[in-house]
A and B are shown apart, each in its own frame.
Chain A
Amino acid sequence: MTRWKSLVLFVALMMVVAACGGDSTTETTTTEDPGTDETTTTTTDDGGSSDGERVQIRWFIGIGAGGQPEQRAAQEAVRDAFNESQDEIELVLEIVDNDVAYDTLATQIASGNAPDIIGPVGRDGSNSFAGLYLDIEPLINASGVSTDQWAGAAVENQRESDGTLVGLPFASFPSALFYNKDLFDEAGLPYPPAEYGPDGVSVYGEGTEYEGTWDFDKVAEIAQILAVDANGVDGTDPAFDSENTTQWGFIWQWTDRLFQQGSFWGAGYPVADDGTADIPQEWEDEWHWYQDAVWDTGFAPSQTEIDGALGGNAFQSGNVAMAGTHLWYTCCIRDDENGIVGDFWDIGAMPSNNGTVTTNMHADTFRILATTEHPQEAFDTMYYLLTDAALELLTAYGAAPADPNLTDAFLASLDERYPQGVNWDVILDSAAYADSPSHETALPGWDAYKLTLDDLQSSLLSDPNLDLDAAIATAESNLTTIFQENAE
């Protein structure tokens, strides 16, 4: 009886300990490894403890890019080169699938087993764990390394609202308009503009019957022509059957969360000075425009269509003529497994709205968690990744370097992957029109904020009769509650 009693007491004690919170960093994780074979999805690289003197730095990959096979190879090569180049630090990789990365990291943090470095991660991903990062400014000053190779604004971009510097510039993924040349040819339309005009505003179809300012109204106009139903009737024809569309004109490819697509019409910050929610007018305008595109004119696909005929990767399927997206999308237009070579596309300038062009920027970099036991070594490792290893990693991630010295080499690697001759210049030029404030600026209750907007987006894409203004008003009041609850 006493054995049982003590077991019960022990567990009760654990409950109390858990309830009283506190960071039990001293507890070790006991993981049961039943089998010898590990699948390719999680690799925990042990690297041996033969060099007993080396400090182990764990690099957690998966919150952003890094999970694709060729990226794994590049990361492993970087790890090996780094470990060979010095003997104080041993870099260890932990690569996790993107869809479980958030949970995995959260669990590790919860059990006191947090990694040292995470990344590459964009601001969106890192906002979820805001407040847990190490301020690296003291370390920069202490080690005397240079940060001149990066533009001052880019460095400042990595500063949190509380003044701490939590990262240094590494990769940038500007955005532009990807378009399907074959579909434009079939419709007999001129291609979207290949470069930005003064102030970013460009002209579409100069010298043709479609000539006009390249803005979102123009996009809607030609997207309608490019939307075709199963009978070959296009969107400008009153007989167009939007229930049976086989080809669409436009989509926001994998950057269609409401705060992302809205920001393409004008940068903004949804938290007002008094802490309540105030969604920028441009965002609301864009949402209305997109709602019309899906349900009225029908040149954009609804959720059912995205799940069905477009199979989840719309632009790659070849059934969408234009896609607003970022440079990282180059990862996924090519699908060698299924024999999709992806040579049907090119890049054009992003349309303007009311005379302004806004091209959302995703800036990925690495972060060090404040719980690290070896801040100096972690910083040294991270600095290596940012400088010596940068080109190799950036090529694998398909990311434009934040360091302008690396741009040419980067472009060469992209041409290797897509040899049909893509207009890379226009998307690099897009960086000049990056959204400021960033659509990914941290705000109170970031995760709850995203979930609220996701619900609204889901209604937009699935309910033909949605009263968007009413839904926006509801969302705003919910967001006000969230912002105020989470404000520190």
Chain B
Amino acid sequence: MAVTTEEGVTGKPVTPFTPDYKPPTSSLARRRGRAGLWFVMPWIVGFFLWYAIPMIASLWFSFTDFNLVNNQPTQFIGLDNWQKLFSDPMVRQSTLVTLKFGLIALPVAIIFPMALAYLLVNKSLRARETFRALFFMPSIIPFVAAVLIFGGIMNGQIGWVNRMLAVIGITGPNWFQDQTWVYPSLVFIGLWGVGNAMIIFIASMNSVPSSLYDAARIDGASEWRMFRHVTLPVISPIIFYNLIIALIGIFNYFLVPFVLNNGSGDPGGATLFYALYFFRVGFRLFDMGYAATLAWALFVVAVGITGLLFWSAKYWVHYEFER
């Protein structure tokens, strides 16, 4: 699963609920508090330059008909773009596409690396380090190359996948040209990106105190019950973290369908993800005002869903194992 955001993944789960830093209490440090601001200044400036101001400008653009290419002066058009947003069939379609994909991709993005990690922490596994490295390796392959490779191997006519299926008598679908099968196909491509999530899962599974397993074993718990009642709760912060990362990836999902079909959304619009439609509006039709509207709508939805997720966290994410 293409769970990585553009930054790649680091280990710490990022929630506002985790204990924040404690201010140093020595008077020396307190006096230097202001000095600290200077150190943080690059980020503050950067925040305004690349986040705050563009976001406001973007909101402003959404109320205009700003077009980067034609010569006409930009005019304020009020809520026209927003009205268009709600009546645009392409918005509906691209949201559906993103949703359809997300419904399969999100669970896979969590379950697959978790299952792999579970395999790799198994006590009786040989050559553990080799396996770890080899399973991780595809995630550092440039994604563009991965898309081209998968596009080739999964071609409906001459690709290996269908040829292997034909050997056992199954007629494989036209993976990337079939409007239903294209979503699992995209998920397959994403599987190469699970390396990071897998490593983090491994680390967290290893940190489950063995005393818990011992206690469960004494109580006669089976392998599955141990997993469900010991492992899962303890690693739930990591699951939460990967869930957020995967969600971000789905909102931003652009590279794979773009490289695959040059942004056309083939087959028949089935891969016209929301981000692709944004790109088409802003960088093919150069209608920057409407593109800004699309972006802001995405932002609002993303914030909403993320907020929901954070709120839900208190019901299933257990932090008591953190130190």
Contact = CB atoms under 8 A, between A and B. Distances in A.
A305 B157 contact: yes
A132 B265 CA distance: 29
B264 interface: yes
A215 to B, nearest CB: 30
Interface in B232-268: 264-268
Contacts of B49: 7-8, 11
B266 A458 contact: yes
Interface residues of A, number: 43
Interface string B60-77: 110010101111111000
A429 interface: no
B74 A131 contact: no
A43 interface: no
B53 interface: yes
Contacts of A459: 179, 267-269
A302 interface: yes
B60 A110 contact: no
B307 to A, nearest CB: 28
Contacts of B41: 4
Contact of A8 (B48, B54, B71): B48
Given A23-B71, A106-B286, A309 B158 contact: yes
A474 B269 CA distance: 13
Interface in B31-81: 41, 45, 48-49, 53-54, 57, 60-61, 64, 66, 68-74
A415 interface: no
Contacts of A422: none
Interface stretch (B7-15, B109-117, B170-178): B170-178
A462 interface: yes
Contacts, number: 107
B193 interface: no
A109 interface: yes
Contact of B171 (A8, A243, A455): A243
Contact of B60 (A19, A308, A454): A19
Interface string B149-181: 000000111110000000000010010111100
A304 B174 contact: yes
Given A304-B174, A454-B264, A7 B45 contact: yes
Nearest to B44: A4
B119 interface: no
Contact of A462 (B158, B174, B272): B174
B53 A109 contact: no
Which 4 A/B pairs are nearest by Cβ-Cβ distance? Answer: A459-B268, A21-B74, A462-B267, A308-B157
